[in-house]
Chain A
Amino acid sequence: MSGNVNGHIELSATDRLIISRLQGDVPIAPDPYQLIADDLGISLEHLLERLAWFKDQGILKRLAAIPRHQNIGFTANAMVVWNVPDEDAARVGKLFAAEAYVSHCYQRSALPGFPYSVYTMIHARSEAECIALAQGLSQLTGVFDYQLLFSVKEFKKSSMRYY
């Protein structure tokens, strides 16, 4: 049985198998779902029905290509952190979120000696472009206390395996 019980989504053993399979690589082939269904020993119809349900429930955002952004020209990325009063966070966050080059935007708690509470990830073709984009965001929102934290080294970037 699967269903939504008390706000908690209940997954069947088959659901978990499907999720586990989709965390790995999906075949790039004319009939990828048939290949996965065969792998799992279920019918194509059943697989497509479960995937549609996962999407409905918000469990599965999409089955998609994740580009390595450095390989498609986005070689610079910066985490830009903004000092925003709590009561202004929603306005600022929405303005940031509307920009295509902002991939992530969150409000978080501040750290000792680090008063920044709105976090954005921005992606560009150079560090200079990141700096210019951040200046634009600053002017757009009127938030002038901010810092760019460039990624100096990527130690790990992977996708979570839930099951």
Chain B
Amino acid sequence: MAAGGNGAYSDTLEMDATDRELLNLLQDGLPLCERPFLALAEQLGISEREAVDRAQAMRQAGVIRRFGGVFNSRSLGFSTTLCAAAVPLANVDEAADIISSYDCVTHNYLRSNAYNLWFTVIAASAAALEGTIREMEQRIGVSIYTLPSAQLFKVDARFAL
């Protein structure tokens, strides 16, 4: 079934209903026990081996981008903010490359607005965050606006399949 695709867009994996149910459970989280896939397999009425094989196939095909820990940066003491900049279109690829080159940038998008470059920065402290952003600003030659969250209503990037 799962041919190809090292995380590249893949349409080679035909997901069936069991795959979708398994992916829903895997998005909710792997149980903390010695044989976590056995626990999930029992919910789905399949064998542990089949659950592991299906999960591996989904990762192989790039349906699963990453399988690992999802941490709360704030609880770990890190500071994070969304940033926006209005970059002249002719320079936007170059500016985006500079921004993306920072390890502390996790998301970076070109969006359809005068403020066209939108990215997130995470740093170990508020001072480090500010310092990094001012350095970026100098390097891209365009003002960077910070948009820290004043209030969090929801973060839940799980998709019901």
Chain A residues at the B interface, C-beta cutoff of 8 Å: 8-9, 19, 22-26, 28-34, 44, 48, 51-52, 55, 57-72, 74, 79, 89-90, 93-94, 96-97, 100, 102-109, 111-114, 117, 119, 123, 147-162
Instruction: Kindly list chain B residues whose C-beta atoms are within 8 Å of the C-beta of A55.
Output: 32
Q: Tell me the residues in window 102-146 of chain B with beta carbons closer than 8 Å to chain A beta carbons.
A: 103-116, 118-119, 122, 145
Contact A152 B33 (CB under 8 A): no
Asked if A108 meets B96 with Cβ closer than 8 Å, knowing A58-B75, A154-B109, the reply is: no
Chain B CB within 10 Å — which of A58, A62, A102, A159 has the most? Answer: A62
User: A23-B68, A28-B56 provided; 20 other pairs, C-beta below 8 A?
Assistant: A22-B69, A25-B66, A33-B34, A48-B33, A48-B34, A60-B71, A61-B72, A63-B32, A65-B26, A67-B159, A72-B159, A93-B151, A104-B154, A104-B156, A107-B151, A108-B148, A111-B147, A114-B114, A155-B97, A158-B107
Instruction: Kindly list chain B residues whose C-beta atoms are within 8 Å of the C-beta of A96.
Output: 153-154
Per-residue interface assignment for chain B, residues 48 to 80, with 1 indicating a CB less than 8 Å from any chain A CB and 0 otherwise: 110010011011011111111111110111100
* Interface residues on chain B, size class: 35 or more
Instruction: Kindly list chain A residues whose C-beta atoms are within 8 Å of the C-beta of B152.
Output: 105-106
Instruction: Kindly list chain B residues whose C-beta atoms are within 8 Å of the C-beta of A155.
Output: 96-97, 99-100, 108-110, 119
- Residue B88 lies at the interface, judged by CB distance under 8 Å to chain A: no
Query: How distant is the Cα of A22 from the Cα of B32 in the complex, in angstroms?
Result: 13
Chain B residues at the A interface, C-beta cutoff of 8 Å: 7, 9-11, 15, 23, 26-30, 32-38, 48-49, 52, 55-56, 58-59, 61-73, 75-78, 82, 84, 96-97, 99-100, 103-116, 118-119, 122, 145, 147-161
